[in-house]
Chain A
């Protein structure tokens, strides 16, 4: 009986939070989840930046920072994805190494960014692929190539053949391609959507603000975020002269080459969509003439997707080692390489589609495209999705009242 009384008394004391200290059996509820090492580094650095603020004009990260006094997990995830890794704040930083504060915002942000890609990946187990991004790309490429080369042989008996006047469907039936790539495409969209949905839930402006206020600004914010993403506003350096690459000089070429890449990619995608419409809606079947809309879009896109990735690769090779996270270069370069292979094999296929090599080129191209698609949710491509979400949050947040009253005098 005495035992029970003691237990009740202890339970009551624990519940009231008295008699705590070392004897307490209640596990204290942490106000927030503990930060990982890279999140902690972002929080440490932003504490310094928030007391300085010289870089406010460069990009969105610093104005977003000034709305906060502390940087929890969700804040670091949001700000890391808002950072475009332009490098301007590193070269302008009075606290950058060799200063003992060792402030390197782009690097700390890049490390957290990578962690968010990993943590928010869907299905979660696939997040591990980010840690071996180079290997992932290589395996996807090998798998894609092997698959379509074997299929080509299996379906048409040989990789070389009499010229077929560019009739791809003589090798792979249209419905087969539509089914395979349609399924992969839907999976990719779904996986990316699930990832960004989890990210958005964590950083959602509605968590810290009145939901009605958020709803009120959503349309204007969405328009601005879309514009900032499509124009790559934050690779402009805040002054329009561009971002940094190999040193403290500014260059607009990173933005330009990224535009070539992105819009090239979109043109190729548009070409595929138009061709699909032609096929099913108008019963206009490939091969299409060189002057047809799908071929024109695809050619323009393919050229953009050669120029852009080659330029980005050259810049990446000359990039200051202090920018971003060097450990992520295999991911960056793997993605660039896949984009470049996609465009080169696509253009080669167009050039030699009337020759005996069409089947070989087609199989290689499809293999590369398959590898690209499969790795979209588990590679560098994810940056565009997460960054767009972060830009949307920024555009919403800046329209809401700031609850801090710092230095009003």
Chain B
């Protein structure tokens, strides 16, 4: 019988498999996807948010624990667990040498992402390169890997893991198990159910795009909750941004984002504005726009800019609809021409242009307009005009299994002796809502490593470790 069974093939699963193997356990990793699609949402990631007290290779200045914690507290609005959050933060400060030892390379921040040069360490080549490196290392160390093997359920004896059953019906026993199979954001039925029907009779989730893998169906998450595992988080919470409506249904990843919202106006299907586009720096606001668009009729909106904005934002993957007049633009994107022109002209008339500065909260704002645009408000008056359609793009969900610092799955408050969970399946413990760049990978790496170590220990039938020992072993 195998010592440690790891269910999943993304960052957290790989960290768990590598740690368990390094601890001497025999490890079998089951990835639901075929090899070409391996790595779950990790293949779309690009960096790790890292605590550091002094400059380190690709990281500049310092990002101390307290500041990291305050950032997390702010974005989650308090929906976090300070003990677990600080554990993740501290782990982020010293996991990179271990990552490097398994072939992960870091690179300086990407052009256009210099704002996170202090807080985030970028993976050279992005998340898929990281996933490739971990899989190579796992193979070299003798971790057995099976692709195309989704797990449907686990067999429990009370709170003890006995075996996993694949969707093909195979029963796989192991002494211990790590669940790291992702959230349920690719499960459209479940999203529909979680988001429900709105006052217009629409099912908003039907119009969501999935930014990541199609394999995060949440089968195991649902199964575990039904089996009595303690859960945490709200199923309608997730990281959601406004992305190009023309993006593919799955795996659109980073390049489908639209970064020109703060440089223009955003109108809904009724050709009306609905929120302050210049409320704050785009970096601090992009995460709310998915939800804002989800609340609009048809869950669609258009980001509209003029010639002045071209070259000031990251180039979008799909070209914008271009027109020489506002009326022509409205016709081309299928909005009511009169309303659209009036919306833009009202906005233009309300613009109080001071000194435009996209790098500061400048003094260009609207007066007497509802909703206001409080910064970077310049009239949209210079042809050609461009419109980009946007829809809510869901990155991941926060509903997960409740854990303590051992990453053990809990049943009615009691920790399982040999079943552990990591990654998106438990990220909600730290990140109850909101998001800040790179924190998902920090959680996945920290808890993946803890879960792997714990699972190896459980398999060895060692006495239950205290969290400090587990962490020490993890380092």
Using a CB–CB cutoff of 8 Å, the interface residues on chain A facing chain B are 47-48, 50-58, 63, 66, 69, 88-89, 91-95, 97-101, 238-239, 241, 248-249, 403-409
Contact with A along B25-51 (1 / 0, CB 8 A): 000000000001100000110100000
* B227 at interface by CB-CB < 8 Å: no
Contact check, A91 vs B129: say whether CB atoms are below 8 A apart.
yes
In terms of DSSP, what is the predominant structure of the interface of chain A? Answer: loop
Is B126 touching A407 in the complex (CB atoms < 8 A)? no
Bound complex: CA A88 to CA B123 (Å): 13
Q: Residues of B contacting A94 with CB < 8 Å?
A: 43-44, 126-128, 251, 253-254
Indicate if B275 sits at the interface (CB-CB under 8 A).
no
**Known A58-B125, A94-B43, A98-B37; contact A407-B254, beta-carbon cutoff 8 A:** no
The answer to whether A54 and B254 have CB atoms under 8 Å apart is yes
Query: Given contacts A92-B125, A92-B126, A99-B251, is CB(A54)–CB(B312) below 8 Å?
Result: no
A-B contact pairs, 5 of them (CB 8 A): A52-B253, A57-B122, A99-B248, A239-B124, A409-B358
Knowing that A404-B311, A409-B359 are A-B contacts, what are 20 other residue pairs whose CB atoms are under 8 Å apart, sorted by A's residue number?
A47-B319, A50-B315, A51-B254, A51-B256, A51-B317, A52-B255, A52-B317, A53-B111, A54-B125, A54-B254, A55-B125, A56-B111, A89-B125, A92-B125, A95-B253, A100-B248, A238-B107, A405-B312, A408-B359, A409-B283
In whole Å, how far is A86's beta carbon from the nearest beta carbon of chain B?
11
* Smallest CB separation, B419 vs chain A (Å): 31
Is B338 on the interface with A (CB-CB < 8 A)?
Answer: no
Task: Kindly identify which residue among A54, A98, A403 contacts B46, using a CB–CB cutoff of 8 Å.
Answer: A54
Contact yes or no, B315 A239, CB < 8 A: no
Q: Chain A residues near B136: list those with CB within 8 A.
A: 248-249
CB of A406 within 8 A of CB of B128, answer: no
List chain A residues, Cβ under 8 A from B311: 69, 403-406
Q: How far is the CA of A249 from the CA of B103 in the complex (A)?
A: 10
Chain B: residues with CB nearer than 8 A to chain A?
36-37, 43-44, 46, 105, 107-108, 110-113, 115, 122-129, 132, 136, 248, 251, 253-257, 259, 262, 281-283, 310-317, 319, 358-359
Please indicate the chain A residues that have their CB under 8 angstroms from the CB of B36 in the complex.
97-98
Residues of A within 8 A of B115 (CB): 407, 409
Report the separation of the CA atoms of residues A57 and B106 in the bound assembly, to the nearest whole angstrom: 9
* Residues in chain A near residue B256, CB distance under 8 A: 51
Query: Which B residues are in CB contact (< 8 Å) with A53?
Result: 110-113
A91 neighbours in B (Cβ, 8 Å): 125, 128-129, 132
Chain B, residue nearest A100 (CB): B248
- B105/A95 in contact, CB under 8 A: no
Distance between Cα atoms of A50 and B318 in the complex (Å): 11
A92 and B129 within 8 A (CB): yes
Question: Does B125 contact A406, Cβ atoms closer than 8 Å?
Answer: no
Q: Nearest chain B CB to A56's CB is how many angstroms away?
A: 5
Contact partner of A239 (CB less than 8 A), chosen from B37, B105, B128, is B105
State the CA gap A407–B110 with chains docked (Å). Answer: 11
CB of A101, distance to nearest CB on chain B (Å) = 8
Considering only CB atoms, which chain B residue lies closest to A248 in the complex?
Answer: B132
Whether A405 and B358, one on each chain, are in contact in the complex, defined by CB atoms closer than 8 angstroms, is yes
> From B107, which residue of chain A is reached at the shortest CB distance?
A57
Nearest Cβ distance between residue B303 and chain A, in whole angstroms?
Answer: 15
Is A57 in contact with B108, judged by CB distance below 8 angstroms?
yes
User: Please, how many angstroms separate the alpha-carbon atoms of A51 and B388 in the complex?
Assistant: 14
The answer to whether A57 and B105 have CB atoms under 8 Å apart is yes
Is there an interface contact between B358 and A66, defined as CB atoms closer than 8 Å? Answer: no
Tell me, in angstroms, the Cα distance from A69 to B315 when the chains sit together: 7
Give Cα distance in the complex from A239 to B99, angstroms.
Answer: 14
B126: A residues at CB distance < 8 A: 52, 54-55, 92, 94
A406 / chain B contacts, CB cutoff of 8 Å = 111-112, 311-315
Chain B residues near A52 (CB-CB < 8 A): 126, 253-255, 317
- Residues of the A chain whose Cβ atoms lie less than 8 Å from the Cβ of B108: 57
Interface centre among B128, B129, B262 (most CB of A within 10 A): B129
State in angstroms the CA–CA spacing of A93 and B127 once bound together: 9
Whether the Cβ atoms of B112 and A92 lie closer than 8 Å is no
Q: When the two chains form their complex, are residues A57 and B312 in contact, meaning their CB atoms are under 8 A apart?
A: no
Give me the 8 closest cross-chain CB pairs, A-B, nearest first: A54-B126, A57-B107, A92-B125, A51-B255, A92-B129, A407-B112, A51-B317, A57-B124
Interface centre among A52, A57, A249, A407 (most CB of B within 10 A): A407
A51 touches B316 (CB 8 A): yes
Shortest Cβ gap from B185 to chain A (Å): 16
B124 contacts A58, C-beta separation under 8 Å: yes
Q: Which residues of A contact B37 (CB under 8 A)?
A: 98
Known: A52-B253, A56-B111. A407 touches B125 (CB 8 A): no
> Which of A89, A94, A98, A408 has the most chain B CB atoms closer than 10 A to its own CB?
A94
Smallest CB-CB separation from B212: which chain A residue? Answer: A94
Q: Which of B113, B123, B129, B251 sits near A407, CB closer than 8 Å?
A: B113
B143 to chain A, nearest CB (A): 16
Minimum distance in angstroms from A271 CB to a CB of chain B? 41
Report the bound CA distance from A55 to B127 in whole Å: 11
Contact: B313 with A407, CB < 8 Å?
yes
CA distance A359 to B108 in the complex (A): 60
A238 touches B124 (CB 8 A): yes
Task: Give the complex CA separation of A408 and B108 in angstroms.
Answer: 16
Partner of A63, one of B111, B127, B251, B253: B111
Of all chain A residues, the one with the shortest Cβ separation from B283 is A409
Beta-carbon nearest neighbor of B376 in chain A: A409
